[in-house]
Chain A
Amino acid sequence: MYTVKIANDNDIPRLIEFFRGVYSPSHILTEKKYLDWQYKNAAANIYYPEYPNLLLKKNDQIVGHLGLIPYKFKIKKEIVNAAFLASLIVDKNLRSHGAGVMLVREAEKYFDLLYTTGFNPNSVPVLKYCGWKEELWINRWVYNVGGKRVINNNEALEIKKFNESWNESWKTLKLKREGTIDRNSDYLNWRFVDNPYIRYKIYGLKNNKGYVILRIEKGDEYSACRIVDLISEEANARALFLSAINYAIESKVDFIDFFSFPVIYEKSLRGAGFNIYDPAENPDPPIFLLPINRERLALNFSYKQIKGEDLRASDWLVVKSDGDRDRAY
């Protein structure tokens, strides 16, 4: 007898055992602290105190899992319940038999919008069968740090926490974005400031009208400064990119990258010296640094909208910190 249920505290020990078997004994999802932060304590967890995770059970045994990171999401003028599909895995004996479809269909009952990035090609038939929008590809902007000097930039300062004044700025900034996570201070503090695994560097514009969030990743072959989120008016974005460049130079990394969809801040990015990266021409550096992964050259993106005014692909704002593509390993 197969059933799908929402995970609660009692399921977690067995869920961790399941992850040890299907992923690896040391996979990040085997840490309860991580599960609690990413799912249970997520700023927009509509199931709290349960986990926004769906379990496929055969009798009492867990045979499949769908991890959903919940967001308040802005679609045009309304805020809806959305979720990022962070992981989908089923027991190897059930693969290619529709178990993933069963889990995704169940998630569609609870959320108004579902989306995912950087997903495994094995998930494509599942998403396609469930009627998700075809794969789209997120641009990767790259800046080569080698030999560059710190640039004078006094428009942005380091910030430690997002406060109420940010919420005021966001009310105006979000008007220009049709499809985006509602980046209020609750979300930003949960996602970046209170992250138990990663120390982000955050710079905010002095006028409070934008921020950039940076993470250093040091691999064996390369080290990178990753712009995992950036919000501002186009006119102010250049100062934030300069903050990223200066931080990258001080941190002695090889390059900076910024994944964004669609093409936004193009003028500022080009003005600051970034270029769109073409993985077909040169697969280095790999998109996943830790662990190094040379097989996946670009970041894909797919979604299904269940409620709200229709979003076109160009209405979206998607960056690397959406979901779990910017996670600890």
Chain B
Amino acid sequence: MEKIKKIAQKVFKVSEGEVTDAMSPETIPDWDSMNYLIFISELEKEFGVQFSISETMEAKNLGDIKNYLRNKGVKF
């Protein structure tokens, strides 16, 4: 979780406390298309996985993204 937190903090310019499973475009001002795709790409690099287009488009919040990572065998 530490790695995800750090990436989220860097990309979305938020404090550690703001990184929660509920964080989403509705709650984080810097969560726009560009930063979101950068975030996805950083996670892919960090964990050696690839998100499908459906996963990328349909993740509603950080909790969904973490679930996708778990399903890909990532442990955190």
Residues in chain A within 8 A of chain B (CB atoms) = 1-2, 94-102, 122, 125-126, 128-129
Chain B's interface size range is: 10 to 19
Chain B residue contacts of A126, Cβ below 8 A? 33-34
Instruction: Report which residue of B31, B37, B54 has the largest number of chain A beta carbons within 10 angstroms of its beta carbon.
Output: B37
> Would you call A98 and B54 a contact (CB within 8 A)?
no
Beta-carbon nearest neighbor of A100 in chain B: B33
Cα of A125 to Cα of B34 in the assembled complex, Å: 5
Interfacial residues of chain B within 12-55, with CB under 8 A of chain A in the complex: 25, 31-38, 40, 53-54
Q: Flag B46-70 by CB within 8 Å of A: 1 or 0 each.
A: 0000000110111100000000000
Chain A residue contacts of B34, Cβ below 8 A? 125-126, 128-129
7 closest A-B pairs by CB? A125-B34, A96-B25, A125-B32, A129-B34, A125-B33, A98-B37, A126-B33
Chain A residue contacts of B36, Cβ below 8 A? 96-98
Identify 30 residue pairs between A and B in the complex whose beta-carbon atoms are under 8 Å apart, listed by A's number.
Answer: A1-B54, A2-B53, A2-B54, A2-B57, A94-B57, A95-B25, A96-B31, A96-B32, A96-B36, A97-B25, A97-B36, A97-B56, A97-B58, A97-B59, A98-B36, A98-B37, A98-B40, A98-B56, A98-B57, A99-B57, A101-B33, A101-B37, A102-B53, A125-B33, A125-B35, A126-B33, A126-B34, A128-B34, A129-B34, A129-B37
Instruction: Report which residue of B25, B32, B54, B59 has the largest number of chain A beta carbons within 10 angstroms of its beta carbon.
Output: B32
Cα of A126 to Cα of B38 in the assembled complex, Å: 12
Given A95-B33, A97-B59, 12 more A-B residue pairs with CB atoms under 8 Å apart are A95-B25, A96-B33, A96-B36, A97-B36, A97-B58, A98-B33, A98-B37, A98-B56, A99-B33, A125-B33, A129-B33, A129-B34
